[in-house]
């Protein structure tokens, strides 16, 4: 897969080099510096043109003015309409200072829990062989309405919980413990999450147990594949990269960075498992993916894809970032007409907020 994506990008670069079409009779020795400067200038311009045209080739942003985008906030738009009513997608793009590698590193290091408005209560990075001890923080979950709802839903094994039948059988309400998160609840989730992380590491998303505790069986891998299938241009753009990950299928060759979170989804506490991947490509570009492959409620799966290109804006090295957020959630299926427009608007606002905070934290704005 690595070879495939490199070949594709190399062929693009080769084509652009030949397009320079320098006059053969031009005495190279006579104007060495001029040629070098010209090449650099043209190269930079082409890097810009490449990035913008590649962005236009697969995204909703068919016309982007880099200079203008660099001066503005993140540009957000809803993705193409999808046939499956529980799917929703939003795309965004922005220009950040620094090279793609720096942006990638900033994304990796960013901690959303420092911003209360993002409603992430707990965030913990995981190793590839986690144990229930990695979920100890659950016992110290904040005392708030979403967390209390989450605990109540667990104690009565609410049909809203997205777990498998086998996982549901393991819950035991007995035992002591008070506090926001009683010990039996915290232990139950620590076991469920540990087991699911191990399944993901060994067999990718396709090894994840379905959500079939109540209602029809839903598989997160089917959902993510459906999301990508209905956005063919994006699927094609990221096919090589995603093929090396565990997103939508078995374990891939790329090593994920794993984490878990406790967050607020529509006033309900939700525990979720995530995996991040990134890979550098030709010309200092990057592709990255962040998948929430398990959620105890609220949504079935969420996937964020990133494409980063090096660009030069006003003489400064910068990065053009495209971000595609896609989600599958049962609640979206019941939204129609203007309600769906409204939910897209809310998703766009949330993404704008998250990107703005990230850019502020990383010095990009």
Q: Which residues bind another protein (CB under 8 A)?
A: 76, 78, 81, 83-85, 145, 149, 160, 267, 333-334, 336-342, 344-346, 348-350, 352
Nearest to another protein of 16, 148 (CB atom): 148
Nearest to another protein of 17, 85 (CB atom): 85
Other Cβ atoms less than 10 A from the Cβ of 158: the count is: 15
CB of 352 to another protein, least distance (A): 6
Region of 337 on the Ramachandran plot (φ > 0 left; ψ -120 to 50 alpha; else beta): left
CB of 339 to another protein, least distance (A): 7
CB of 327 to another protein, least distance (A): 14
DSSP 111-160: -GGG-GGGTEEEEEEE-SS--GGGGGGGGG---SHHHHHHHHHHHTT-TT
Classify strands 87-97 and 316-328 as parallel, antiparallel or unpaired: antiparallel
Cα–Cα distance, 199 to 20 (Å, whole number): 50
Closest CA to 289 of 246, 226, 236: 246
CB of 51 to another protein, least distance (A): 24
Nearest to another protein of 84, 113 (CB atom): 84
End-to-end CA distance of the chain: 35
Nearest to another protein of 284, 352 (CB atom): 352
Nearest to another protein of 215, 363 (CB atom): 215
Nearest to another protein of 208, 223 (CB atom): 223
Nearest to another protein of 151, 242 (CB atom): 151
CB of 361 to another protein, least distance (A): 21
CB of 321 to another protein, least distance (A): 18
CB of 38 to another protein, least distance (A): 42
Q: Which pairs count as long-range contacts for 209-216, CB under 8 Å and 24+ apart, including other chains?
A: 209/163, 209/164, 209/166, 209/167, 210/164, 211/162, 211/163, 211/164, 211/300, 212/164, 212/165, 213/157, 213/159, 213/161, 213/162, 213/163, 213/164, 213/165, 213/167, 213/168, 214/159, 214/160, 214/161, 215/159
């Amino acid at each position: 897969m690595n070879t495939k994506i490199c070949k594709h990008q190399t062929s693009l670069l080769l084509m652009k080099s030949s397009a320079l079409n320098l006059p053969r009779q031009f005495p190279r020795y006579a104007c060495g510096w001029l040629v070098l400067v010209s090449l650099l200038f043209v190269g930079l311009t082409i890097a810009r043109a490449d990035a913008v045209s590649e962005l236009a080739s697969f995204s909703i942003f068919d016309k982007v003015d880099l200079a203008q985008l660099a001066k503005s906030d993140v540009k957000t738009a809803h993705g193409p309409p999808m046939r499956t009513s529980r799917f929703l997608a939003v795309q965004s793009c922005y220009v950040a200072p620094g090279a793609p590698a720096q942006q990638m590193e900033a994304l990796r290091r960013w901690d959303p829990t420092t911003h209360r408005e993002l409603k992430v209560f707990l965030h913990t990075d995981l190793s590839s062989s986690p144990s229930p001890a990695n979920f100890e923080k659950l016992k110290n979950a904040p005392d708030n309405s979403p967390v209390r709802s989450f605990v109540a839903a667990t104690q009565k094994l609410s049909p809203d919980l997205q777990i498998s039948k086998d996982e549901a059988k393991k819950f035991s309400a007995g035992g002591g413990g008070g506090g926001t998160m009683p010990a039996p609840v915290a232990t139950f989730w620590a076991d469920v999450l540990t087991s699911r992380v191990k399944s993901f590491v060994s067999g990718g998303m396709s090894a994840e147990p379905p959500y079939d505790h109540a209602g029809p069986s839903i598989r997160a891998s089917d959902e993510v594949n459906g999301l990508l299938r209905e956005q063919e241009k994006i699927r094609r753009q990221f096919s090589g990269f995603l093929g090396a990950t565990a997103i939508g299928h078995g374990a891939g060759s790329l090593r994920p960075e794993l984490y878990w979170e406790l967050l607020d989804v529509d006033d309900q506490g939700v525990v979720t498992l995530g995996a991040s991947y990134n890979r550098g490509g030709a010309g200092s570009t990057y592709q990255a993916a962040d998948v929430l492959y398990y959620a105890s409620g609220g949504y079935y799966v969420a996937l964020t894809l990133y494409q980063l290109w090096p660009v030069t804006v006003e003489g400064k090295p910068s990065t053009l970032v495209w971000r595609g957020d896609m989600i599958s959630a049962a609640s979206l299926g019941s939204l129609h007409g203007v309600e769906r427009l409204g939910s897209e608007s809310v998703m766009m606002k949330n993404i704008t907020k998250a990107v703005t905070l990230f850019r502020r934290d990383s010095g990009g704005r």
